[in-house]
Amino acid sequence: MGRLRVLGWQALSVGAALLAWEAAVRVGLLDAAFIPAPSAVLRALAATAADTLPRLGDTLVKTLLGYALAVGVGVPAGLVLGSRPVAHAVAMPYVVALYGIPKILILPWIALIFGIGLSTAALSAAVFAVFPVVVLIAAGTRDVDPAIVTVAVSMGASRAQIARKVLLPAVVPSVLTAMRVAMVFAMLGALLAEMLAGNRGMGFQMQRMALAFRAPELFAATAIVSVLSISAVLFLEHLNERLGRWR
């Protein structure tokens, strides 16, 4: 099946689903108080448009701050763990264990210390995003082809030169993958913190609308965040493609 036909069917399916949804609400099959019609959601989108941008910006700032922190800590940590087998053997079980613990458990505590707002959300984003970064980059560093390292050693490369000219470029694909994954996790952490202990941002908005039973506004906010996230991931995937011509 050609790409165009697949796209056509996808668009058709989504369109049909939306139409069926709209019809179901109008007919009364779905209770509009719980599941608003797409038209109502669109209207809510328009109505809240003015406030949406600052809210989105707020969430984005927290996401990006946390993301930067996670990458800044996680990439070197992953590189170190991946390039030193002893460190890897000793530390990795702990990293995996911590990764497996639901991080939301410590969010209340972070909120207790840092209060409601930006710091908590940014820190939360960082905590969520750092683990996949460390794990993915450690794995990528370990998988560097030993043959090319041998070549560099045989040519008299110093440790620093090997790290800079061999390990680093070899690890770039893993770094890009990790950064893509980390983005979703960072956003997750920021939104979660906003829902749990926030006073601004999209997460807070969604929680507030849910508790106030304002379904159209809630769905509108959900749609906006979803589109933002999907766009970010698509962009990072595109970047991944462009930077990896040699693979």
Partner 1 sequence: MITGAPIVVDGVSKRYETPSGPVAAVESVSLTVRPGEFISLLGPSGCGKSTVLGMVGGLLRPDTGRILIDALPIAGPNPKKVALVFQDPGLFPWRTALDNVGFGLELAGVAAARRREIALGLLEPMGLKGFEAKYPRELSGGMRQRVAIARALALDTPILLMDEPFGALDEQTRLLMGEWLVDIRRRTSRTIVFVTHSLYEAIALSDRIAVMTARPGRIKDVLEVTLPYPRVLDAPEAVDLHAKLWAQLREESLRAMDGQQ
Partner 2 sequence: MRIWLWRALVLLGALALWEAAARMLNPILYVGPSRLPAALGRVLATRDLPPLADHVWITLGEIAAAYVLAVAGGLWVGFLLGLRKTLGRIYEPLLAALYAVPSVVWYPSLMLFFGLGPASKIAFGVLLGFFPVTLAVLAGIRQVPATLVTVATSMGAGPWTLFRKVMLPAMASTLVGGLRTGLALSVVGVLVGELLGARSGLGYLINYAYGLMMTAEYAALVVLVAAAVLLLDGAGSLAEARVKRWAD
Q: Which residues bind partner 2 (CB under 8 A)?
A: 1, 6, 9-10, 13-14, 34-35, 86, 89-91, 93-94, 97, 100-102, 104-109, 112-113, 184-185, 187-188, 191-192, 195-196, 203, 206-207, 209-211, 213, 215, 218-219, 222, 225-226, 229-230, 233-234
Stretch that binds partner 1, among 62-70, 95-103, 156-164, 217-225 (CB under 8 A): 156-164
Please report whether residue 166 would count as binding partner 1 according to CB under 8 A: yes
User: Which residue from 169, 234, 238, 239 is in contact with partner 1, where contact means CB under 8 A?
Assistant: 169
The nearer residue to partner 2, 50 or 86, going by C-beta atoms, is 86
Reduced to 3 states, what is the DSSP secondary structure of residue 116? Answer: coil
20 binds, among partner 2, partner 1, none (CB under 5 to 8 A by kind): none
Biggest CA pair distance of the chain: 77
The entry of partner 2, partner 1, none that residue 135 binds, CB within 5 to 8 Å by partner kind: none
Please report how the helices 215-243 and 201-211 are oriented relative to each other, as an axis angle in degrees rounded to 10.
150
Q: Considering the complex, state which of residue 60 and residue 153 has its C-beta at the smaller distance from partner 2.
A: 60
Three-class DSSP category at 145:
coil
CA distances from 244 to 144, 172, 176, 206 (A): 16, 9, 9, 38
Residue number, 213 or 246, with CB nearest to partner 2: 213
Cα distance between residue 219 and residue 241, in whole Å: 33
Give the one entry of partner 1, partner 2, none that residue 233 binds, where binding means its C-beta sits below a cut-off of 5 to 8 angstroms depending on kind.
Answer: partner 2
Three-state DSSP string of 63-79: HHHHHHHHHHHHHHHHH
Q: What are the angstrom distances between the C-alpha of 155 and each of 84, 161, 162, 199?
A: 22, 11, 10, 58
What letter does residue 245 receive in the DSSP assignment?
Answer: T
Residues in the chain: 247
Closest CB 68 distance from partner 2, rounded Å = 18
